[in-house]
Chains A and B, each alone.
Chain A
Amino acid sequence: MSLLDKLKKIGHRETGIRDFCIQTIRFKKFLENARALLDLFADGREKVLGEYIFDRHYVVTLIDSVVDRLGRMVYDASVLVPESGEELYAAYDRHKLAARNLIGSTPSAADDAVDPEYRLLSDVLKWFQGTENTGNISVMEFMRQTFFHVIQGLESNDAMTRNQALFDKNGLHASDMGIYVIDLWKDALSPPSENRSIRDFNSIPLRHLFMDSGNGDLEKAGPKANQHTAAWVAAVSEYQLSLTTLKPNFRFRLETLASGYEPSDFIFIFAGPNAPLDKIIPDGFHVERTNYGQFAWSLSITAKTIEDTLMIIGRNLFDESVRRMQ
């Protein structure tokens, strides 16, 4: 079949699954861009604290990179939650202006004791992190707000209900686990025609997540009991896993990439404010708790560590004591 024929076929058989897959992949890009911003910030901070020798070119490049990544993150967010696009782009424009002002700023004679490159970098870090005296919203705070917009959009009850109907309509239950499983690349083009087992999916993170929990509660709540009781959806590719709960009273989302290429591998988790996160994730995560929810992430870790971590999370997540709290 030619590429054109495939495209025609896709056009005629649009099921809604493709949009879900695109949204999942876009959310991964959104996280990648957020991670790149954190890396840029860490790099700048290391340069200041480590007494590095750098020139103005380094700082200007850092500012340009922050603006670029922030723009990509806002673009991702606007695709994921179009209704927030206008507000996010307006805030992004203010950050672009702040960046331009930083690049155009000239050192005053009163600050001769500090190298201008160091002072500029220090100002960039203040712009990024914010200070008590700064009235303007920092890049970090803007990132946080953008996260809230995106998560609220993705985790809304409307979105959950819509997805559940979509998965049921397209027969995406894994027959042995009572969970919706979607192959991000294959199912986007052509939904499955028959029931599949978890073992049919070539996904390293999925395999590890369920390695120790395959005979547990998930199976008991499987499709044989009730076709409409699936409470989880796992969107997968060979190295990627996006696991989301569909329970309205228990918000939990896990995103991971375990490709073996350390600079891009990560685990990201969002959980509702009352979810027992401490009982689910092992030590080693950076955790931020807000009124809206809890964010946890682990970056620059080996694929082996991610696999081991997923086994622990899978075991904990579907453990009876945690399940009672869901």
Chain B
Amino acid sequence: MARSLEVLLLDDEPIVGRRLKPALDKIGCQVEVFENPKEAVARIDQKEFDIVVTDIRMEEMDGIAVLEHVQKKWPRTKVILITGYAKMDLAREAMEKGVFDFIAKPFRPDDLRRIIASAAEALGMPIDAASPNDETVAE
């Protein structure tokens, strides 16, 4: 049996983790949620995640720094950035640093599930992005 996709979810707004964890659990991901970037980075040092989903704008450490840290420590890990602002300069910087994709707040859990499915495909670990309760299959 194939192992589950390991996902680290980091956002200093508690609502994001609270709402997204169940949505990602439903498609079979093993999700660890963090609100504090330093604690998340410490966990990343201990464990190789398949996917890291992080907010770009946080007080103690921004998403770009988290991206850099992940790329240095685990080059295989795919990083997805959550952004509340359409900032071209940040987007360009993140692209240069190898971010897998962006998602802009507000978004629906399905939107992130689709991006995670693409990242899983790129890792050679395809998943079905539609939750078992969904009637329709994600595009």
Contacts and interface: CB of A to CB of B under 8 A. Distances in A.
Contacts of A47: 106
Interface stretch (A55-63, A193-201, A233-241, A248-256): A55-63
Contact of B107 (A53, A56, A57, A115): A53
A53 B84 contact: no
A251 to B, nearest CB: 41
A117 interface: yes
A52 B107 contact: yes
B106 A52 contact: yes
B109 interface: yes
Contacts of A55: 13, 15-16, 84, 105
A117 B15 contact: yes
Nearest to A54: B106
A52 B16 contact: no
A54 B105 CA distance: 6
B91 interface: no
Interface string A46-86: 01001111111110000000000000000000000000000
A43 B120 CA distance: 31
Contacts of B112: 53
Contacts of A117: 13, 15
A115 B14 CA distance: 9
B15 A50 contact: no
Given A115-B15, A115-B18, A115-B19, A58 B106 contact: yes
Interface residues of A, number: 14
Interface in B94-132: 105-109, 112
A1 to B, nearest CB: 42
A115 B20 CA distance: 13
Nearest to A59: B106
Nearest to A118: B15
Contacts of A116: 15
B135 to A, nearest CB: 16
Contact of B19 (A50, A53, A57): A53
Q: Which of B15, B20, B108 has the most CB of A within 10 A?
A: B15
A50 B106 CA distance: 10
Contacts of B84: 55, 57-58
Contacts of B20: 53
A57 B16 CA distance: 13
Nearest to B18: A115
Interface in A280-305: none
Contacts of A50: 108
Interface in A107-145: 115-118
A229 B84 CA distance: 58
A50 B107 CA distance: 9
A116 B18 CA distance: 12
A55 B20 CA distance: 13
A297 to B, nearest CB: 26
Nearest to A56: B13
Contacts of A56: 13
Nearest to B112: A53
Contacts of B109: 51, 53
B13 A52 contact: no
Contacts of B15: 53-55, 115-118
Nearest to B82: A53
Nearest to B13: A55
Interface string A29-55: 000000000000000000100111111
For the complex of A and B, the 7 pairs showing the least CB-CB separation, nearest first, are A54-B106, A55-B13, A52-B106, A115-B15, A117-B15, A47-B106, A53-B19
19 contacts: A47-B106, A50-B108, A51-B109, A52-B107, A52-B108, A53-B16, A53-B20, A53-B109, A53-B112, A54-B15, A54-B105, A55-B13, A55-B16, A55-B105, A57-B105, A58-B106, A115-B15, A115-B18, A117-B13
Interface of B: 13, 15-16, 18-20, 84, 105-109, 112
Given A53-B108, A53-B112, A55-B84, 12 more contacts: A47-B106, A51-B19, A51-B109, A52-B106, A52-B108, A53-B16, A53-B107, A54-B105, A55-B13, A56-B13, A57-B84, A115-B15
Interface of A: 47, 50-58, 115-118
